[in-house]
A and B are shown apart, each in its own frame.
Chain A
Amino acid sequence: MGLAKRIIPCLDVSAGRVVKGVNFVGLRDAGDPVEIARRYDREGADELTFLDITASSDQRDLILPIIEAVAAEVFIPLTVGGGVREVNDVRRLLNAGADKVSINTTAVSNPQVVADAAARFGSQCIVVAIDAKQCAPGKWEVFTHGGRTATGLDAVEWAQKMEALGAGEILLTSMDRDGTKSGFNLALTRAVSDAVNIPVIASGGVGKLQDLADGVLQGHADAVLAASIFHFGEYTVHEAKLHMMQNGIEVRL
């Protein structure tokens, strides 16, 4: 027995509140990020990812007290992403209690930020998020600004470049699948995961538990990220782990 494949619930945060519908039974306040984090921790989540989707930058600091509050009582790794523009943003999030910071648009517009942040804080805390969309059979293009801006970059080559610059992990989202509940883009996941030596988190498209197992078995993902299947109480993290285990995948129970 060795390293377990990780299951990572993702929480979208806007102006200090969890959004995109979280609908747990028994939560006093379904939008309270601390309460939701606590719940996932109890269910056995291996890590938590917070994605700050706040539209205006002046409200973005509202995520800092949330991270502080979660880090004070949930003792698993926390990744925070969204709106990271400079090394100083990375520092503020780490100081608030994040263990890893995810960089997306800025990695494309200013790759030096990835290199500088990795050199300063260590590769272990720098995650590069890649949003990719299929552009030809077996080819995927990197998009930024929440999927609105095409970059002309090849997703596989981009992942390799980010590894070379010092990224410690890749968070790979298939824009074709995101929100469809039709499963991960397994070909994309496998192409990127096999091309790099750092861990790859598969994201985008999970609708059922078998999708998570397929992400690992067929996509070669090191970790799987999902939001809505956990938020709406369809499945608990524990159920997801049992299902992965039944598929012969090593998990932490």
Chain B
Amino acid sequence: MGVDIAVIDYGMGNLRSVSKAFEHVAPAASVVVTSDPDVILGAGRVVFPGVGAMGDCMRELDQRGLTRVVKDAAASKPFLGICLGMQMLFEHSEEGDVAGLGILPGRVLRFPAEAMHVNADNKLKVPHMGWNEVHQAVPHPLWNGIADGARFYFVHSYYVEAGNPDLVTAFTMYPFPFTSAVSSSNIFAVQFHPEKSQAAGLDLLGNFVTWDGNIVANQCDTFNTSCSL
């Protein structure tokens, strides 16, 4: 019998806060932080976090033999990417000019310096650090109970430009709208840190724990619309 939630550990940063937050929202669930391919692929659902530089993350993933494992998990079960764990799903990053996993079409760009000078009295800082509004672009089971425009905690200097607009599940203004969440069938990925976003973040993690990985079926439950499935 596999664990309920596997948090993929590839040596980049501290994953304790992610596992603690899951233990908080799902006290009965078994949560492990692991780099063991068998544990990851045997888990009910998988969380793919990440901090630091994308090149380092990709290299550490590769050195631990986890690149294939992440791709397999992202193809087969409820999968949550967080921060760098969202960016790495895409094809390419400007940060270090490195290739990502290419699971989703799109690229990762740096907030352009020229766009940050809104006016003489307002220079936006990079990293984008703090609590910003997450505008839900489409309904999704993971938004269940979370207000449209609720604030989540961000800390990042790069953002995803999705190659397919259908992937965009939320956007955030800094100062232009950038993609702050994407989804594609069983994959949901966020640029912000739900594990550090107090009530709204815990709600999202709680929704992930009960999500069956199917967008359509759950939408019917969540939004109480009639469905002919």
Binding site for B on A (CB under 8 A): 1-6, 41, 46, 71-73, 75-77, 94-95, 97, 99, 121-125, 168-169, 194, 196-200, 220, 222-223, 252
Bound-complex Cα distance A76 to B174 (A): 21
A97 contact from B16, B124, B149, B151, Cβ within 8 A: B16
Bound-complex Cα distance A75 to B149 (A): 19
Bound-complex Cα distance A195 to B144 (A): 42
Cβ-based interface call for B127 (8 A): yes
The number of chain B residues touching the other chain, given as a range, is: 35 or more
Cβ-based interface call for B129 (8 A): yes
Set of chain A residues within 8 Å of B17, measured between Cβ atoms: 71, 75, 97, 99
Q: Judging by beta carbons under 8 Å apart, are A75 and B201 in contact?
A: yes
Set of chain A residues within 8 Å of B145, measured between Cβ atoms: none
Q: Judging by beta carbons under 8 Å apart, are B130 and A197 in contact?
A: no
With known contacts A99-B17, A121-B52, A122-B13, A41–B198 Cβ distance under 8 A: yes
Interface CB pairs A-B, < 8 A, 11: A1-B149, A2-B175, A3-B131, A71-B20, A75-B20, A75-B202, A77-B193, A95-B16, A97-B14, A197-B126, A198-B125
B131 contact from A41, A46, A95, A220, Cβ within 8 A: A46
Bound-complex Cα distance A222 to B154 (A): 14
Q: Judging by beta carbons under 8 Å apart, are A122 and B52 in contact?
A: yes
Bound-complex Cα distance A194 to B125 (A): 10
Kindly report which residue of chain A lies nearest to residue B154, judged by CB atoms: A3
Kindly report which residue of chain B lies nearest to residue A77, judged by CB atoms: B196
Bound-complex Cα distance A124 to B187 (A): 25
**Smallest CB separation, A193 vs chain B (Å):** 8
Kindly report which residue of chain A lies nearest to residue B111, judged by CB atoms: A197
Kindly report which residue of chain B lies nearest to residue A98, judged by CB atoms: B14
**Smallest CB separation, B47 vs chain A (Å):** 15
Set of chain A residues within 8 Å of B53, measured between Cβ atoms: 122
Set of chain B residues within 8 Å of A77, measured between Cβ atoms: 153, 155, 193, 196
Q: From B113, B131, B173, name the one whose CB has the most chain A CB atoms within 10 angstroms.
A: B131
With known contacts A6-B130, A71-B20, A97-B17, A76–B151 Cβ distance under 8 A: no
With known contacts A6-B131, A223-B130, A121–B24 Cβ distance under 8 A: no
Q: Judging by beta carbons under 8 Å apart, are A76 and B155 in contact?
A: no
Set of chain A residues within 8 Å of B126, measured between Cβ atoms: 197-198
**Smallest CB separation, A11 vs chain B (Å):** 18
Set of chain B residues within 8 Å of A123, measured between Cβ atoms: 127, 157
Cβ-based interface call for B185 (8 A): no
Cβ-based interface call for B146 (8 A): no
Contacts A2-B133, A73-B24 supplied; 4 other A-B pairs, CB < 8 Å = A72-B24, A124-B156, A168-B127, A168-B129
Kindly report which residue of chain A lies nearest to residue B128, judged by CB atoms: A3
**Smallest CB separation, B99 vs chain A (Å):** 20
B174 contact from A3, A6, A99, Cβ within 8 A: A3
Q: Judging by beta carbons under 8 Å apart, are A46 and B14 in contact?
A: no
Cβ-based interface call for B116 (8 A): yes
Kindly report which residue of chain A lies nearest to residue B150, judged by CB atoms: A252
Kindly report which residue of chain A lies nearest to residue B132, judged by CB atoms: A3
Kindly report which residue of chain B lies nearest to residue A198, judged by CB atoms: B125
A222 contact from B16, B21, B129, B202, Cβ within 8 A: B129
Q: Which of B183-205 contact A (CB under 8 A)?
A: 193, 195-198, 201-202
Cβ-based interface call for B51 (8 A): yes
Bound-complex Cα distance A196 to B155 (A): 17
Q: Judging by beta carbons under 8 Å apart, are A94 and B131 in contact?
A: no
**Smallest CB separation, A37 vs chain B (Å):** 12
Bound-complex Cα distance A97 to B13 (A): 11
Set of chain B residues within 8 Å of A97, measured between Cβ atoms: 14, 16-17, 20
